[in-house]
């Protein structure tokens, strides 16, 4: 089984994914990074050429590709019993949940976590993120309005996750909570 991290951009999926993977001695994959690496293009370039619909198709394909690769890879030596059933940690793009088939796929093939972060904190993180310019606007609105609107629209989809993590807290606290939930999940 896989561990999937969902939530809006800048909620900490990549940071938490790396921390969980290190704690559990598992491989980590970021679907946005994999898409950029495999296509040789930035998200903004794909969106400019193919629109959001084309990007979303590619994003769905990458989710299945990385999941299949992680499940097919030989099991490594995991850290303790709690990691034995897990095959990898996957940080998804913020819009991965828009497709119902993606949400079903993740729930059926692993444990899904929603990293919940306040609008104010997301805006703070995006404003300080040097890659902000490479992230195309979804709505054309101000950053604060866009983040609030997108989060309001997607929240019900994110909440279909198995677990919600309050990700405004320090990374080590969020990681500890996720590890405790995984331990109780018993894969």
Q: Does domain 2-185 have CATH number 3.30.360.10?
A: no
Question: Partners of 91 in the beta sheet?
Answer: 5, 30
| pLDDT, tens only, 112-163 | 999 999 999 999 998 886 554 445 566 677 889 989 999 999 999 999 999 9
For the question of whether the overall pTM of this predicted structure is more than 0.85, the answer is: yes
Exposure b/e, 106-115, CB count within 10 A at least 16 = b: beebbbbbbb
Domain spans, the chain:
2-185
Tell me: pLDDT of 184 over 50: yes
Least confidently predicted of 15-24, 36-45, 136-145, 177-186: 136-145
Residue 38: both structure tokens together = 């495999």
For 31, other C-beta atoms within 10 Å of its C-beta total 25
- Round to whole Å and give the CA distance between 14 and 120: 19
Q: What is the pLDDT of residue 58?
A: 95
């Amino acid at each position: 089984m896989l561990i999937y991290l969902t939530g809006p951009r800048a909620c900490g999926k990549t940071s938490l994914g790396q921390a969980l993977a290190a704690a559990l001695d598992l491989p980590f994959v970021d679907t946005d990074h994999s898409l950029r690496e495999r296509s040789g293009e930035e998200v903004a370039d794909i969106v400019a050429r193919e629109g959001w619909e084309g990007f979303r198709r590619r994003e769905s394909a990458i989710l299945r590709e990385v999941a299949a690769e992680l499940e097919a890879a030989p099991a490594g030596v995991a850290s303790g019993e709690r990691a034995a059933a897990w095959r990898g940690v996957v940080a998804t793009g913020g819009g991965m949940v828009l497709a119902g088939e993606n949400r079903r796929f993740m729930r059926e093939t692993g444990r899904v976590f929603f990293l919940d972060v306040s609008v104010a904190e997301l805006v703070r993180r995006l404003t300080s993120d040097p890659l902000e310019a490479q992230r195309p606007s979804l709505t054309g609105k101000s950053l604060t309005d866009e983040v609030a609107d997108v989060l309001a629209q997607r929240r019900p989809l994110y909440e279909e996750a198995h677990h919600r993590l309050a990700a405004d807290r320090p990374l080590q606290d969020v990681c500890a909570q996720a590890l405790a939930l995984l331990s109780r999940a018993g894969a």
